[in-house]
Each structure stands twice: as C-alpha cells, then as structure tokens.
Amino acid sequence: MNKPSILILCTGNSCRSHMAEGILRAAAGDIIDVHSAGSNPAGYVHPQAIAALAEIGIDISAHTSKHMNDFLGSKIDTVITVCGKADQACPMFPGQVHRYHWGFDDPAHATGTEEEIRNTFRRVRDEIQLVFNAYAAGLLR
C-alpha cells in the first residue's frame, strides 16, 4: 500500500515549511511521506530554523530548499500551505485530495537582538508543533 504523500508549501521554503515538515515527520512516523517546497525558494534552510528544531530533538540540517514545481509530477494527496502567499500561488496537484491552509508568522523577518530573533523562531516552532502534532494525531487514529 502506498503511503499518503503530504506537501507543505511556503513562499521561500527556508523556515516554516521545513519546521512543519520535520515536526510532522517526527510526529507521524513512517505512515506518511512528507515533503516541503516553496513558490519562490530561498535556496537555503535558515540556520535559526535548524537550531530551533534541534532544541526539540528534530534534525533538519540535511533539508534543502525546493521549488513546488518539482512536485507537479508526483502524486500528492494533501497540500498544506503555511503562509498566505504560498496559499495564493499554490497550484492544484494531479490527484490531490486535501488542501489546508494554516498560516504562521515568518520568523525570517524577525528583528531585534539575537536572543529576540531566536525567541521568534522558537515561538513559531512551538505554534507549528502544536498544529502539526494535532494533525498527526488525527492521522494515527
């Protein structure tokens, strides 16, 4: 049996979508295939996103920034957008069954001291974790 495939989209695919991918993969285990991409990928994964997930035991250091068009030929069952711009730019994927939009602040635009920026990444991580852990719990029923 093929596992359901979930694609998490954001504009830059540098922070939120990678944090959501890592959290969902950790929470749901091997019952799904989860990927992330962007409508205008930044070309890197933000070091603060990597650090924020490392603090909760999730390693996304090997993730790469990808374009959503890379997945147009793939069977995607669910698309989840985590920022408004990606929700507007998101194409319909062939065979796509579900589509959700759960928006989160972009921590890449945080300003202030290093600690304030780090805390913004932690806050967004915690918000993403709350939503995606609940989603995973529903999948595991």
Sorted by where each begins, the domain ranges of the chain are 5-139
pTM: 0.92
Catalytic residues: 10, 83, 90
What band does 86 get if pLDDT is binned at 50, 70 and 90?
low
Reduced to 3 states, what is the DSSP secondary structure of residue 1?
coil
Q: What is the DSSP string of 55-94?
A: TTT---TT----BGGGGTTS--SEEEE-SHHHHHHPPPPT
Task: Please give the pLDDT value at position 96.
Answer: 62
pLDDT at 90: 58
Q: DSSP letter at 113?
A: S
What is the pLDDT at residue 83? Answer: 85
Given the structure tokens 């093929």, which residue do they identify? 2
Please compute the mean of the pLDDT values over residues 30-41 and round it to a whole number: 93
125 touches 52 (CB < 8 A): yes
Give 138's pLDDT tier (boundaries 50, 70, 90).
Answer: very high
Just give the CATH number of 5-139: 3.40.50.2300
Q: Is 118 exposed, middle or buried (0-12, 13-18, 19+ CB in 10 A)?
A: middle
The rounded percent of the chain whose pLDDT value lies above 70 is 90
- Residue 4 pLDDT > 80, yes or no? yes
Mean pLDDT of 85-113: 79
DSSP three-state, residue 5: strand
* Residue reference for tokens 């290093």: 114
Instruction: State the average pLDDT for the chain.
Output: 91
